[in-house]
Structure 1
Amino acid sequence: MTREQAPARHLVETVIAPPVIAAVAAHAAARVPGVVRLEPGLRGLAGSLTRIARQRIKGLEPAPTEGVRAFVEHDPPDVRVEIDLSLSGLDQAAATAQAVQRAVGKAVTEATGLTPSAVSVSILDIEIRGGLL
């Protein structure tokens, strides 16, 4: 949430909803090399289906947020992001998770002006291809 002083001394308040932050984070995380996909899990899937249904009723095309949860506190302003994902077995998991944290933090800050206090990454699966095991 940001507050600005308008020209006529009116206070203008901008509220950025958690689904917006989650969509920005999902897009940024999915673009990191080594990320195979975002994993919604049961909790994320239920919340995502509810949000998608509401937006479709309103005629909106929902941005994908599966596997990402954003939490916003307004006083004081604080943003936290949780991401569940699957990684490629070809990359080091810890390095990829750190790259996701950096990419998501940067993307959320650039898109909203809010810097996340935490970006938590949970690796739910690592895909091994080509018979490496």
Structure 2
Amino acid sequence: MTADADSDAVSEVRIESPVVAAVAARAACATPGVVRLEPGVRGLVSSLVRAGKQRLVSADPAASEGVRVRRTASGALSVHVDVVISADRAASAVGHAVQQEVSRVVREQTGQAVAEVSVSILDIEPERP
């Protein structure tokens, strides 16, 4: 093949859900007011299955506990984040900030369209004296 033939080739890049989840987890943890990610029961089961699959192929599982990703019918991403927040900030403000940050960072780092980011606040930790 010539260089011209190579430039006409079309390729597809697909970023798998565990990678998107790891990106979303880092973005959520970096949001002011988020103390940590906290997988609910459903998230815990998903992360155990994902970690098991990755260990089967001798890969270290990416840190993504507390984040679930699925693709919509249109191919866009739906991200669900479970967080514990600090009591010194308004829950609604932290939840909205997590939505914005996760959506922005996932779009920037993966190039994938994000249809929705839903946030579950599982606990609010009291301020420490």
Q: Same fold judged by TM-score > 0.5?
A: yes
Aligned equivalent of 2:30: 31
Which residue number in structure 2 is paired with residue 85 of structure 1?
A: 83
Structure 1, residues 36-88: CA drift from partner, whole Å, max 9, x if none? Answer: 11111111111101111121221211111111111124x63211101111100
State the 1:10 CA deviation.
Answer: 2.8
List gaps (5 residues or longer) in structure 2. Answer: none
Question: Does the 8 Å CA contact 1:26/1:38 hold for their aligned counterparts?
Answer: yes
The 4+ residue runs of structure 1 with deviation greater than 6 A are none
* Structure 2 match to 1:3: none
Q: CA deviation at 1:115?
A: 2.5
SS at match of 1:64: coil
- Identical pairs, percent: 46
Instruction: Report the 3-state secondary structure (helix = DSSP H, G, I; strand = E; otherwise coil) of the residue aligned with 1:11.
Output: coil
Q: Which residue of 2 aligns with 1:53?
A: 52
Query: Which AA in structure 2 matches 1:43?
Result: R
Partner of 1:14: 13
State the Cα RMSD in Å. 1.7
- The CA distance in 2 between the partners of 1:130 and 1:114, in whole Å, is 39
**TM-score (norm. length: structure 2):** 0.88
Match of 2:121 among 120, 123, 130: 123
Matched to 2:113, the amino acid is T
**Aligned AA (1:114):** Q
What residue is the counterpart of 2:112 in the other structure? 114
Q: How far, CA to CA, are the matches of 2:109 and 2:127 in structure 1? A: 35
CA 1:16/1:130 → structure 2, altered by over 3 Å: closer, same or farther?
closer
Aligned mates of 2:113, 2:49 — CA distance in 1? 27
More strand by share: 1
TM-score, normalised via structure 1 length = 0.86
In 2, Cα distance between equivalents of 1:65 and 1:130: 27
- Contact between 1:25 and 1:108, CA under 8 Å: does it hold in 2? yes
